[in-house]
């Protein structure tokens, strides 16, 4: 076959066609992916991967489902990284600087190395949103971290042991709960759902989903979209 590349998956050499993603290259090489593959389109963060090109020093972080293989690529997947997740009740905490100090004090040990930002698979400015979290600017932290898929690559490279995605998650929850203005339209719809107004329609949709998936697709594609 033409345009074959040499890649190393977990230290073992394979020849795979150029143009494949790391994930499809693994499957081409015979790996049966039963975990760490998620959505396969770059949004769930399940296929966090570390790689280095032979002869180069830099270590790269990426998502295997959206990164093409390269000649001499050494690959190791990181489908799970043990982030530090603190337990809290969002109804009992407030968006103060003290709550971040209480739950994630390690963020104040950040040495400003920027390894987290360099490793981010979404190209987010991770060190910046951690700085916002340190200052209690949760609206800015929430905005800066909005596209985080919680793959954990940033934390795997952090010498201070910061769980950046969990810090960002707390900031977004505080921002949504206490800082951003309430969306009255959404609140009304949630109330209607809880009151069972849509139960009949949901039952009909469930029946259609079992009997005729194409009808469901057609209903979705021709739905009325509120402005």
Domains located in the chain, CATH noted: 4-77 (3.10.20.740), 97-179 (no CATH), 193-221 (no CATH)
Q: Are 22 and 75 in contact (CB under 8 A)?
A: yes
Q: Are 127 and 116 in contact (CB under 8 A)?
A: yes
Tokens at 114, concatenated:
């920027």
| Mean pLDDT (the chain, rounded) | 92
Q: How far apart are CA 43 and CA 151, in angstroms?
A: 10
Query: Residue 86 has what pLDDT?
Result: 95
Query: Residue 215 has what pLDDT?
Result: 83
Tens-digit pLDDT profile for residues 155-171? 999 999 999 999 999 99
> DSSP character for 188?
H
Query: Residue 132 has what pLDDT?
Result: 97
CA-based nearest residue to 107, from 165, 163, 171, 175:
163
CA-based nearest residue to 69, from 81, 51, 57:
51
CA-based nearest residue to 133, from 160, 176, 177, 103:
103
Residues in the chain: 227
Tokens at 10, concatenated:
């977990």
In percent, how much of the chain has pLDDT > 70?
98
Q: Can you name the residues that pair with 8 across neighbouring β-strands?
A: 13, 74
Q: pLDDT tier at 142 (50, 70, 90 boundaries)?
A: very high
Max CA distance (Å), the chain: 63
Q: How far apart are CA 119 and CA 164, in angstroms?
A: 12
Helix, strand and coil content of the chain, in percent to the nearest 5, comes to 40, 15, 45
What beta strand segments (E) does 117-224 contain? none
Q: pLDDT tier at 176 (50, 70, 90 boundaries)?
A: very high
Rg of the Cα atoms in the chain: 22
Q: Are 152 and 81 in contact (CB under 8 A)?
A: yes
Q: How far apart are CA 77 and CA 83, in angstroms?
A: 16
- Strands 48-53 and 73-77, sheet pairing: antiparallel
Tens-digit pLDDT profile for residues 181-193? 988 888 899 999 9
Residue 42 has pLDDT above 80, yes or no: no
Query: Residue 209 has what pLDDT?
Result: 66
């Amino acid at each position: 076959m033409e345009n074959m590349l040499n890649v190393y998956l977990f230290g073992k050499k394979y020849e795979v066609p150029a143009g494949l993603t790391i994930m499809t290259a693994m499957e081409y090489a015979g790996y049966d992916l039963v975990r760490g593959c998620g959505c396969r389109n770059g949004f769930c963060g399940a296929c966090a991967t570390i790689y280095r090109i032979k002869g180069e020093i830099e270590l790269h972080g990426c998502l295997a489902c959206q990164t093409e293989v390269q000649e001499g690529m050494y690959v190791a997947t990181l489908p799970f990284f043990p982030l530090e997740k603190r337990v809290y009740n969002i109804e009992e905490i407030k968006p103060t600087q003290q709550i971040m100090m209480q739950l994630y004090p390690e963020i104040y040990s950040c040495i400003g190395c920027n390894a987290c930002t360099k490793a981010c698979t979404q190209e987010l400015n991770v060190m910046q949103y951690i700085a916002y979290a340190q200052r209690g600017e949760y609206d800015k932290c929430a905005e800066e971290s909005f596209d985080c898929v919680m793959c954990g690559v940033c934390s795997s490279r952090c010498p201070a042991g910061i769980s950046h995605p969990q810090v960002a998650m707390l900031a977004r929850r505080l921002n949504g709960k206490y800082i951003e203005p309430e969306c009255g339209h959404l609140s009304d719809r949630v109330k209607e759902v809880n009151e069972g107004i849509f139960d009949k329609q949901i039952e009909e949709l469930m029946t259609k989903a079992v009997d005729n998936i194409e009808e469901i697709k057609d209903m979705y594609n021709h739905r009325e979209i509120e402005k």
